[in-house]
Structure 1
Amino acid sequence: MIERVLKRHRRLQSHLEHALSQHISPQVQQENDHRKSHNLQIEYHQDPQDSGDFLLTHYCQDERELIVVGDHMGSGLIARTNGSGWISFIRGLFCAGIESPQQLLTLLNQEIYQTSHSQLICLMIIEIQQDSQITIYNSAMPAPLLVGLEHSEYQQEHISLLGLNEQITIECKDYYLSSEQSLHIASDGIFEQKLSQRQQKQIQNQEKTTRGTYLWESSLNIKDDKTLVNIYLADPISEL
């Protein structure tokens, strides 16, 4: 008798999760996984789709591009549902004409602070200018990894976790990538711990176009929501 009740409960729970997943799936639509922005090549990897990680892009009126990478605390469908809610909030700010990373972070911080500390998110905004300058605003996400042929390093500048305090101090870091460099932004499913010097050296030895794939494949054994963004200079088109 108890076993039949448990089976029925699990079946109903499965149907409910499926219905909820179908309802929110348009809000968490997968971004293009390989494309060009100005003179930069951008690659995305994300797994699973039903997770608290989220990623969205926005093309500004002044031809800047904003890429927002978020990690809602928790896992599974509940984290995904809460994460999709913040996606809607961020998209609403974009629709209202708010395209400044500083304003976005300030308003997000105020909203999270005033609503619920239990729905905290880690967030990174990647701003790409027309001249291919990259500016990173990092609120409690793992430090980005900058990789070159001879050297690699984690970039430590960051903003405190959104929603903990009524006011936040916003910091950012600018990048101009050289032809051999690549920049890698990831959730803690990829950068759960900093890579060792040996691992960083192995990535340096890869072509810039394959470093992201190498990082992704190296993390497949980690049982966590994973998001990875790889950015590098696109090779110029040779003239015949």
Structure 2
Amino acid sequence: MTNGSEAGSPAPAADPATGAVIDLLGLLAYAELVSFFRLSDDAELAPTLADKGELAGLAATEYGHYRMLHDRLTELGADPEAAMRPFVAPLDDWHARTRPQSWLEGLVKAYVGDGIAGDFYRQAAELVDDHTRDLVDGVLTESGRAEFIAAKVRAAVADDPKLGGRLALWARRLVGEGLSQAQRVATHRPGLAELLASSAESEGGSADLAAVGRMFARLTDSHTARLRAMGLAT
């Protein structure tokens, strides 16, 4: 005897919420994988063996995060590669447009660029299931990275104050590019856009594009704190 789905009845419709979660985890998984490669490259440019070791450790952490997200996608019944695929081109494009020209620019990108992206991912995760939200929060913890990068940039600016203005301009560019890319990704992935709109609505706004736009504006609030931590605030 067969059940209805085996007898040719239509399969149950996919849960939109699950689709949105898969989009979010796929985006974050590819971001973490790329971060692993990027930090590994930055480690080669580091001026001392100690710095190389620190960045190698940060890269290893990013790979661990990628594996956690990969495993969660598998638990949800998703193909991790398929979940990441829609985000390969936009994220690769963003990294191509913001290619650092020095080790210090690479550090600022790892802190500011990844930081604004992390704020976006956290916002999108506000209304997902508890398991996924806890995973996203854990993956995006940046305390160790933030402390290492902030100390290195502060020291470099103290040694050469002229670096401060140039790196601050670079940081502002990263934020602008990051927000624009996040908006493009959300526009092309309805599940993510719905998560963002619902999160904006839960904060007292309305679930429309204007609310999402205001939410993106709020993501810049933490930018000043990151600049101050690196000694780049003006």
Question: Into which bin does the TM-score normalised by the smaller protein fall?
Answer: under 0.3
Q: Give the structure-2-normalised TM-score.
A: 0.27
Larger relative contact order (CA 8 Å, sep ≥ 6): 2
Higher share in strand: 1
Higher share in helix: 2
